[in-house]
Chain A
Amino acid sequence: MGIDVIFRIAAVGLITAMVSQILKKSDKDEIATLVTLVGLIIVLLLVVDVLSELFVTLQSVFGAF
């Protein structure tokens, strides 16, 4: 964890954007959309642990359960 995940998200975003652009230029718009969606899902999977940690911290800070 740490700054690693931010760099990883940035790399996934960059690569997904490039792949999407290449596919759009090749008239494969529907696959480009699919690739963007897959990129989003990958990023969500990367941050899901961090998000769950955030919610646990918030619960403990505000005393909610």
Chain B
Amino acid sequence: MTDKLLMAVCLGCLGAATGYALCIRLKRRAEYFADLDDFLRVFSESLVCSLDTVPRVIGDYAARSPLLAKQLGECREAIVSGRPPELSRGSLTEREAALVREVLCGLGSRSAESERAAAENYRRKIGEYGKLAADKYAKLGRSAVKLGFLAGLLAAVLCW
């Protein structure tokens, strides 16, 4: 009896942990887009937007999202070394990753005015993705732990 109860608790905890991991993933996605939007705002507000100053602007920006921090680091290294950047994808979908690649690879390649216009355009697109990610987190993220726990309990009942 004790071992079966232990199994039920373990499966419940395992399910809850899986749900929590999913919740964190959804939360990080939502935070990532908000952070990327903030970065583009900071970038477009910086007075000189040329390829020489992009590494400095990137270096000055304190990213809150770990994925964005990693991507900005990779982008900065690529600009400094003159190679095309290989950006980490993280939890982004193929389309989102392509957009982010387009945004970060194009930094500093235009004149200041067109750079600002492009940044505003990208902010609009990223805002849409960000809204979707935030909605998904609001709807599913908070119930993921409960659902995971209940799924674990259901598995325990079926294995009893």
Contacts and interface: CB of A to CB of B under 8 A. Distances in A.
Interface in B144-160: 146-147, 150-151, 153-154, 157-158, 160
Interface in B119-160: 139-140, 143, 146-147, 150-151, 153-154, 157-158, 160
B154 A15 contact: yes
B160 A19 contact: no
A27 B136 CA distance: 10
Main secondary structure of the interface of B (DSSP, over half): helix
B139 A19 contact: no
Interface in A6-59: 8, 11-12, 15-16, 18-19, 22-23, 25-28, 42
Given A15-B150, A19-B150, A19-B151, A26 B157 contact: no
Contacts, number: 33
Contacts of A11: 153, 157
A26 B150 contact: no
A11 B150 CA distance: 11
Contacts of A18: 150
Contact of B140 (A8, A15, A16, A26): A26
Contacts of B160: 4, 8
A22 B147 contact: yes
B49 to A, nearest CB: 41
Contacts of B140: 26, 28
A40 B153 CA distance: 17
A8 B151 contact: no
Contacts of A26: 139-140, 143
Contacts of A23: 143, 147
B145 to A, nearest CB: 10
